[in-house]
Homo-oligomer: A and B are copies of this chain.
């Protein structure tokens, strides 16, 4: 039987959640209870995956050594990135807070196990990248579920993914898809930070829709 998604109140709140999901980079330091985190990860496993291959692999990054390696990797990549901008762009970039690596109580590295036998290759023959895309839908599911529970998430991509995989000593063939910071947000917004500071504006639907 179909759940009552038409119940008044559900769709408006779902819309609010999509609008409100925002990348979070300002975290409070209080811990997230283990049971709450595991519940969120179980929900992430409901994400779609090509051929039901479920290629997502979650790694909780907890040790001081592992976290320090990630912070160092980010600092290096972020300095390189800053060097690629000039003038006002460089000044604005330098002021952006682009990760919550120093404060976020929970940090997750999410990998794709492209060699998994699960799903027996179905749907991946002509588009092998579908395995990685499946992991992305799990990350996005986690993001929405966390946000609905008052937990903020930030996706850090200013990282050298091979360096991270090496530092975290991952099994052969795992590829880094996302490095995630989670924690209670120190502030919340429905407007993306990059829009607020004038780095980029939102597109209208007409700008991204064509017919054939």
Which residues of A come within 8 Å of B, CB atoms? 2-7, 9-11, 13-23, 38, 41-43, 45-48, 50-54, 56-63, 66, 77, 80-81, 84-85, 89, 93, 98, 109, 118-127, 129-130, 132-133, 136-137, 140-141, 143-145, 147-150, 155, 157-161, 168-169, 177-178, 188, 192, 194-195, 199-200, 202-203, 205, 208-212
A133–B4 Cα distance when bound, in Å, is 31
Q: Are B45 and A208 in contact (CB under 8 A)?
A: yes
The oligomer's copy count stands at 2
Q: Are B159 and A127 in contact (CB under 8 A)?
A: yes
A160–B205 Cα distance when bound, in Å, is 27
Q: Are A211 and B119 in contact (CB under 8 A)?
A: no
Q: Are B143 and A48 in contact (CB under 8 A)?
A: yes
Which of B2, B19, B41, B161 is A126 in contact with, Cβ under 8 Å? B161
Given contacts A18-B141, A84-B121, A140-B141, 20 further A-B contacts (CB under 8 A): A5-B13, A5-B16, A10-B148, A18-B47, A41-B205, A51-B194, A52-B192, A52-B195, A52-B199, A53-B200, A54-B202, A57-B209, A59-B209, A60-B211, A77-B125, A98-B123, A109-B212, A119-B194, A168-B212, A169-B212
Q: Identify 6 residue pairs between A and B in the complex whose beta-carbon atoms are under 8 Å apart, listed by A's number.
A: A41-B205, A48-B143, A51-B194, A118-B203, A119-B194, A123-B157
